[in-house]
Amino acid sequence: MRPAMGTLVHASGSGPDATKVRQAVDAALATVERIERLMSFHDPESELSRLNREAWRTPQTVHPWTWAVLHRALRFAEASDGLFDITVAPLLVREGLLPGLADASLQCGNWRNIVLMPDCAVFLARPMLLDLGGIAKGYAVDRAIHELRRGGCAEGVVNAGGDLRRFGSIAQPIQLRRRDGLVRVAELRCGAIATSAPYAVHAERLAQPLGCIFDPRTHRAWNGSGAVMVAAPSCVISDALTKVAALAGPDCAPLLARFGARGFWDTDPAYVEGR
Amino acid sequence: MSLDIRWLVPAAIYAAAPQCFAAKYMSVDQARALIFPMADEYVAKPVQLTPEQMQEIDKLSGVPGRTARQQVWQALSKGKMIGWFFIDQVIGKHELITYALGINADGGVRQFQIIEYLEAYGSQVRYLNWRDQFVGKTVESTLRVDSDIANISGATLSAHHVTDGIRRLLFLHQSVLR
């Protein structure tokens, strides 16, 4: 277990060869850290920060992984008609959830202004801020799972603060945290699951506010009536589509199905009472 | 890439029949009756610590306090004070554990009871043989896990935090209630 991406990342595996398993787990965690260095909004040295500074002036060449995440982000943006949008960062900066100057002139961009070019080059058609907070964690979990498989693990789990993916033959219980405790909602044998909640269930116990989901249509924070979970074949899908599922509600089930994903909309009375 | 998931209950049914790992083992009254069976009266004596008292207790016990306010009752039997009854909360792993502690008039631990436990793991701290280790402990005792209190495999954090909480209450009792 290691701290990364603003959470604790946990990777574990099992297989016939203990040494190989240990190496695979180390490689998995190293991959997560590498992706964080590439795609962190908080780190001014990251590739993402370089994109935000420079890519509207001249096209920037990025690591194939960063390009792959942007490519997927645009696919989800197009499929959801902009409900998933990695250009809402100025809203999060304004709320103090991301670092940066809360500059009134800083407007939200639009995913259509992101231009992906051959050979991993990225161009922004206008100055704007990209934030991969809604998708990079899922991608990192997928890459880490890949390392576990490649390292010879027969069973493997990677959990980055609730973005979870596993493979193997054991069914793992999936629990949802509610105000009054944990609820077992599913058993996952193979695949990924991600959760979004309208606000921290125990906000008073957290040292700093958690990130939240902003609606690109209204520029307001999502304020739903319960938690949302999305299960999918890969974690990049569940991570990104949980935001869409949160904003669109159960109506988006056909959209989820297009990506092989399934949603679970919790209607916990405690959320309603707690408000 | 594949997805193999089994949803246990559809969302609609969940709303009607919520089920969770929260376990409330007893009420405050039941905890009182278990800890001080002979008491016939309880007088509320809530403690409001000053910042200096907070600091002193933090230092003596080595455990930072969560709040300045502590729920305390004096237990009486036929008008005679026989001990102090505390309701306190500590963090287990993520969630709060609510427990009741009885301290005898002489300052030794009488017993404690877990009232509410919200986590799926670690509730072994309510087993009698683990709780019995605390009986008679005072501020003079070490009262630390892996020393005079046995650790519990699978409940390490809960065991540590409950032990810390009780040590802190003993010092609070010594500083403020004696």
In this predicted model, what pLDDT tens digit does every residue of A147-168 receive, in sequence order?
A: 999 999 999 999 987 799 999 9
- Cβ distance of A188 and B19 shorter than 8 Å: no
- Cβ distance of A171 and B6 shorter than 8 Å: yes
pLDDT at residue B176 in the model: 92
pLDDT at residue B102 in the model: 96
CA distance A145 to A160: 12
> Which residues pair with residue A124 across a beta bridge?
A114
Mean per-residue pLDDT over chain B, rounded: 85
- Cβ distance of B5 and A265 shorter than 8 Å: no
Nearest to B6 among A183, A187, A260 (CB): A187
For A268, nearest residue in chain B (alpha carbons): B15
SS3 (DSSP) at B149: strand
- Pick out chain A residues at pLDDT < 50: 104, 201-210, 269-275
- Cβ distance of A268 and B15 shorter than 8 Å: yes
Of A203, A264, A252, nearest to A76 (Cα)?
A: A252
CA distance B169 to B165: 6
**Share above pLDDT 70 across residues of chain A, in percent, rounded to a whole number:** 82
Instruction: For CATH 1.10.3980.10, list the domain ranges present in chain A.
Output: 47-124
Nearest to B22 among A174, A181, A268 (CB): A181
Q: Using beta carbons and an 8 Å cutoff, which residues of A are at the interface with B?
A: 171, 174-175, 178, 180-193, 231-234, 260-262, 264-270
Supply the DSSP symbol for B133: G
**Pairing between β-strand A60-61 and β-strand A121-124 as defined by DSSP bridges:** antiparallel
Supply the DSSP symbol for A62: -
**B6 in reach of chain A (CB within 8 A):** yes
- Cβ distance of A260 and B11 shorter than 8 Å: no
| Residues A161 and A9 sit within 8 Å (Cβ to Cβ) | yes
Enumerate the residues of chain B whose CB falls inside 8 A of the CB of residue A182.
20-22, 118-120
**B4 in reach of chain A (CB within 8 A):** yes
Q: Is the torsion defined by CA of B137, B141, B145, B146 positive or negative?
A: negative
- Cβ distance of A260 and B3 shorter than 8 Å: yes
Enumerate the residues of chain B whose CB falls inside 8 A of the CB of residue A180.
18, 20, 22, 118
pLDDT at residue B12 in the model: 33
Q: Per-residue pLDDT tens for A50-99? A: 999 889 888 999 999 999 999 999 999 999 988 999 988 777 776 666 77
CA distance A269 to chain B (A): 7
* ipTM, interface predicted TM-score of the complex: 0.73
CA distance A262 to chain B (A): 9
pLDDT at residue A1 in the model: 60
A254 against B101, higher pLDDT: B101
| Residues A228 and A204 sit within 8 Å (Cβ to Cβ) | no
**B116 in reach of chain A (CB within 8 A):** no
In our burial notation (b when 16+ CB lie closer than 10 A, e otherwise), range B46-82 reads ebebeeebbebbeebbebebeeeebbbbbbbeeeeeb
- Cβ distance of B118 and A181 shorter than 8 Å: yes
**B13 in reach of chain A (CB within 8 A):** no
**Overall average pLDDT of the B58-84 stretch:** 91
User: B97, exposed or middle or buried, with CB in 10 Å at 0-12, 13-18, 19+?
Assistant: buried
pLDDT at residue A91 in the model: 75
Enumerate the residues of chain A whose CB falls inside 8 A of the CB of residue B14.
183, 185, 266-268
CA distance B2 to chain A (A): 5
CATH homologous superfamily of A47-124: ApbE-like superfamily (1.10.3980.10)
For A183, nearest residue in chain B (alpha carbons): B20
Enumerate the residues of chain A whose CB falls inside 8 A of the CB of residue B119.
181-182
pLDDT at residue B3 in the model: 84
- Cβ distance of A181 and B6 shorter than 8 Å: no
* E strand or H helix that includes residue A172: strand A172-178
Q: Is the pLDDT of residue B16 over 50?
A: no
**Overall average pLDDT of the B37-56 stretch:** 92
- Cβ distance of A182 and B9 shorter than 8 Å: no
**Pairing between β-strand B80-91 and β-strand B96-104 as defined by DSSP bridges:** antiparallel
pLDDT at residue B123 in the model: 77
Q: How confident is the model at residue B40 (pLDDT cuts 50, 70, 90)?
A: very high
Instruction: Say which range, B6-15, B38-47, B93-102, has the weakest mean pLDDT.
Output: B6-15
CA distance A14 to A154: 6
**B16 in reach of chain A (CB within 8 A):** no
